Amino acid sequence: MANEPVTNNGVQQFGGHSQVGNQAIGQHARALSGPVGFQNLAVDHRALAVELLATVERLLAEHRAELPDGGAPELEVRRLREELAEPSPEPGVLRRALDRLTAIAAPIAPLAVAVAELTGAVQSILGG
C-alpha cells in the first residue's frame, strides 16, 4: 500500500444544480440509508417560558437606562408571569403583553432576541 499512487476520489461539479441523498466517496466507502426518526423530547414549554421570562427581567434591569417606557416593561412581565401561573392562561392577555413587550424591547438587540424566544415558548404553550 505504501507504494500505491495517491488517488483523489473527490467529486467535482461545475455549474448547474445538484441534489445528493446519500453519497460515499473513496476507497471502500459505503452510503447507507434507512428510515429517519425523531425523538419527541416533550419539552416543558411552560417551564421554558418562565426561564425565558427571568432572562427578560435580567436584561430589562441591565438596559433600564435605554428603555423609553419607565415601568411599562415590569408591568408586562408581571402580567405574563401571573398569566403563565394560571392553569389555563388567556391567549389574548399573553399576546397583548408580548406585543407590548416586543415593542419596548425592539431597540435593544439582546432584549429583543430574548422576548422573541419567550414569544415562541408562549406560542407553544397555546398550541400554535
CB of 9 closer than 8 Å to CB of 26: yes
Separation CA 118–CA 47 (nearest Å): 11
Does pTM surpass 0.85?
no
> What pLDDT is recorded for position 119?
94
Residue 10 lies in a domain: no
3-state secondary structure labels for all residues of the chain:
CCCCCCCCCCCCCCCCCCCCCCCCCCCCCCCCCCCCCCCCCCCCHHHHHHHHHHHHHHHHHHCHHHCCCCCHHHHHHHHHHHHHHCCCCCHHHHHHHHHHHHHHHCCCHHHHHHHHHHHHHHHHHCCC
Residue 114 lies in a domain: yes
Residue 56 lies in a domain: yes
Residue 66 lies in a domain: yes
> What pLDDT is recorded for position 41?
54
Residue 100 lies in a domain: yes
> What pLDDT is recorded for position 102?
93
Separation CA 122–CA 128 (nearest Å): 9
Residue 36 lies in a domain: no
Residue tagged 430574548 (cell numbers)? 114
> What pLDDT is recorded for position 68?
75
pLDDT digits (tens, 9 = 90+) for 29-65: 666 665 555 544 557 888 999 999 999 999 999 988 8
> What pLDDT is recorded for position 39?
46
Residue 87 lies in a domain: yes
pLDDT digits (tens, 9 = 90+) for 69-123: 666 888 999 999 999 999 889 999 999 999 999 998 888 899 999 999 999 999 9
Q: What's the structural domain count of the chain?
A: 1
Domain holding 78, by residue range, is: 45-125
